[in-house]
Chain A
Amino acid sequence: RKEVEQDPGPFNVPEGATVAFNCTYSNSASQSFFWYRQDCRKEPKLLMSVYSSGNEDGRFTAQLNRASQYISLLIRDSKLSDSATYLCGPMNNNAGNMLTFGGGTRLMVKP
């Protein structure tokens, strides 16, 4: 099993829709979790940090489920500009607190 797994998508949704992605992780010792956004041919940029049970930032909500070892990202009222790849990055304590990234989930918001 991969350390971090994500559905690669693409998720095709209309503008205004609500969409959610999950990210499962295998290392139960992982403590910190992050969601990054990556636009085509650009570098990943931090979207949200998830340090405890979850947090919310405007249209974006991140949740952590430690029992089932996954984090989720919910996007409400999708905009065309939300089209991107979303990477999750749990912390991997087996490698000296290294972050291991998932392969990313691609979101395409259509008019």
Chain B
Amino acid sequence: NAGVTQTPKFRILKIGQSMTLQCTQDMNHNYMYWYRQDPGMGLKLIYYSVGAGITDKGEVPNGYNVSRSTTEDFPLRLELAAPSQTSVYFCASSRTGNQPQHFGDGTRLSIL
């Protein structure tokens, strides 16, 4: 009964480093999303995907890249980490665009 699984849970990066945040879901959901949430703020959509091979930008895509080679996996790539990318990152999935989203428990990322 895993749902949406995110790894790692915590990470500290140095400025300019790169990393990939992993997200996988076992519910056979078509839609997957990446959000960031800064302290005391709401969710901001980074990228989303409506199915394998299809991705699209959300509200704040700059500095990030994604891929969706399988239904289950939706990794988020940070190429050149910047302090402004310090945040909590949530991955979510839903069966369709009209259905509620299921969230992973987040990745807390600090860039120093």
Contact = CB atoms under 8 A, between A and B. Distances in A.
B34 interface: no
Interface string B94-112: 1011111111111000000
Given A31-B98, A91-B97, 10 more contacts: A43-B106, A46-B102, A49-B100, A96-B56, A98-B48, A99-B101, A101-B35, A101-B43, A103-B42, A104-B42
A28 B103 CA distance: 26
B45 interface: yes
Given A43-B103, A43-B106, A44-B103, A100 B45 contact: yes
Contacts of B45: 98, 100
Interface of B: 35, 41-43, 45, 48, 50, 56, 58, 88, 90, 94, 96-106
Interface in A1-60: 31-32, 34, 36, 41-46, 49
Nearest to B97: A97
B40 to A, nearest CB: 9
A-side interface size class: 20 to 34
B43 A45 contact: no
Given A32-B98, A49-B100, A97-B98, A102 B42 contact: yes
Contacts of B58: 95, 98
Contacts, number: 50
A87 interface: yes
Contact of A103 (B35, B41, B50, B96): B41
Interface in A56-102: 87, 89, 91, 95-102
- Determine the main DSSP class of A at the interface with B: loop
Contacts of A96: 50, 56, 97
A71 to B, nearest CB: 14
Contacts of A42: 105-106
Of A41, A44, A96, the most chain B CB neighbours within 10 A belong to A44
Contacts of A46: 100-102
Contacts of A45: 103
A43 B104 contact: yes
